[in-house]
Each structure stands twice: as structure tokens, then as C-alpha cells.
Amino acid sequence: MKFNKTRNKVFGAIFIFIVVAAFFIMPTGYYLEVPGSAEDTSQFVKVDGKHDKKKGNLLLTTVGIVSGTPFTLLKSLGNNFETIYSQQDLMGDENSQEYFRVQQYYMKSATNNAVQAAYTKAGKPFTKKYLGVYVMDILDNSDFKKKLEIGDTITSINGYHFNNADQFIKYVRKQNKNSTVKISFTRDGKKKTASGKLVKLADTKRFGLGITLTDNTIAKGNPPTKINAGDIGGPSAGLMFTLQVYSQIANKDLKAGRTIAGTGTIAPDGTVGPIGGIEKKVYAASEQGATIFFAPDDPVTKEIKKYEPGYVNNYHLALNAAKKIHTKMKIVPVKNLNDAINYLEKTQQSK
């Protein structure tokens, strides 16, 4: 009898240990978006083979994505700088590997746009080379579902080479709906081919490959610029990379010894676009000691208000975040590259 009581206590202790351990470490299928890091862009950028050695910092900012456990999800409730997402909300139908590949494409696109915007502003020459169409998604009914992967770049179809995604789409539309097409593509630097039939595209009368695509290009400047962001993905570092590249190729000391952070996509013409998670990026920048933070001042149009009545633009979200953490960091609204450069040059003179 005594043995049974001892055994029950042991089993009970083991059970409690398993429950407690599960509370702290068991995945839930949910994720937390949290403040990430603020990284000096000079470490990622080389112009003419050299890093920027001027005093000060131009910081890109990130969010962190962590797997949610029962403990971390419960702890995040009421925290203004942690947001819970389901895997579907965060990644859609992509698995984690596909999601990472798409984020890497967004970063590559951002760095290409940064080169174009910076060189245009500095009046320096650059070239833009078309690589093909980048595969963003593959529909379940596509004949290429098991042949293509997200991240592949299609370079030709039936031997036809195209100069943009529109040409590719127009060529496919001209094909007989029952035809079989042969595509050439690259994956991880290796050339491959595949053949398949066209499929009916949902909610249309058209037939196609059944893929979501976008243009894949590379921009090269003179002097040469190389941007290697490592494992950082997404498009939101575009503005800060542009400022870093511009300061080097134009030989402008925009930093003047200051720690400057920011976020925002960049278009080749210098337009700055909104991003997600800006509150977490304000937090990360403040923690790193930034005194200036550039926030996209994206216009809130009637169309946006129609579909999302409660929409608040990036700049005002950043202002609210700064107030919550009582930071002295200046939140500066920017609509384009010129706004950021003009502000830095003006405040540099008034120091």
C-alpha cells in the first residue's frame, strides 16, 4: 500500500512537471511579432569595395517573429509591443521555408530599388538587368505544382525570352488552352526545365501556368555597390539602405556623428512606402539610442478609408509608439528620399 502511494506521488510529480514544461515550451501554432533589432547599415553595404567609416549610424530596424508558447502568449496580453498572429495570418498557405524565400526576394528587390534611387539622386550611372519572372506562389491546380518552387525564376517559355512580366503574361494568353508549354528557369543558381499544361485561372475565362509572379531584376551602379543583408528579409529596410548608399556614392556625411534610424520601402523613383510592425521598430530604435526615426507618411486616401475605416498611417502609429515609451527620439515623417536627405542636411547645419 505504501509502495502504491509512493508510486502515485512519483507519477503525479512527473505529470505536473510535463504540464509545467509544456506551458513554457509547447508550440501552439501561433506566433508573436516583437521588437527586433536596430542594425547599422554600413556593415551590409560596400561601395567600391569599402564600408562607410564616417562617425554615426544609419540604422535599419526589424521585427522579431517567435513561436508562441502558452506562457509567452499569456505574457504578451496587454503588451502594446507584442502582437499575436496565427500561422495563416503570418504566412498564408506558405510553409516556413517558402515564407523565408519570399522575404529574401523582398529584401533583394529593396536593395535593387535602393541602388536605383540612390544613384539617380546622386546623378551617378547605373544599369538594370532583367533576370526573368520570380515565382511568388503556385496554385494547387497548376500542372507545375510539383515542378516549380517558390523562389524560382522563369527565364523563357517555349524558347521565347521576355523583358518583363507583362510580355510573359501576354505570350501565355496567346497559347491554345490545351497546349503544353516548356519553361526554362533557375533555382539556386542552377538552370532547369519543365513542361506542363495550362490550367483555367480562377474567376476568369483565361488559361495560364497557375502561378503568381513578379519581375526579378538586378541593378548595378558605377562605382559598384554591393548590399548583403544576410538573413534579414522583407522590403522595409529600403529607405535606410538608400540613405547609406547615397551618402557613400555622393560622399555626403549625412550622419554627422548621429544615430539615425528609420523604416519604409523604397521605389526606384525615391517614393517611401508603408510597412508593418512600425511600433516595434520604434521601440528597437529607441533602445539602440537613436535620436532620429524616419517614418513613412503614407497618404490615407478615401479608398483606404472605405475598406479600412480605422486605418492609421505609419507616421502616426510611430508617434503613438514613441509617446508610450516616453522616448526623446524625434519621429520624422517622410514621403520620399528627398524628405529624409533634406531633413538630415538641414539639422546637420543647425547642430
Q: Give catalytic residues, as residue numbers.
A: 236, 281
Q: What does the DSSP assignment read for 236-258?
A: TTHHHHHHHHHHHHTT---STT-
Q: Is the peptide bond before 27 cis (omega within 30 degrees of 0)?
A: no
Phi-psi region of 132 (alpha: psi -120 to 50; beta: other; left: phi over 0): left
Contacts (Cβ under 8 Å, ≥6 apart) of 15 = none
Among residues 277, 334, 301, 290, the alpha carbon closest in space to that of 80 is found at 277
What's the residue count for the chain? 351
Residues 60 and 38: beta-carbon distance below 8 Å = yes
Neighbours of 320 (CB within 10 A): 15
Helix ranges, the chain (H): 2-25, 70-76, 87-91, 96-122, 165-173, 238-249, 278-287, 302-307, 314-325, 337-349
Residue type, 116: Q
And the C-alpha cell for 266?
523604397
Residues 265 and 239: beta-carbon distance below 8 Å = yes
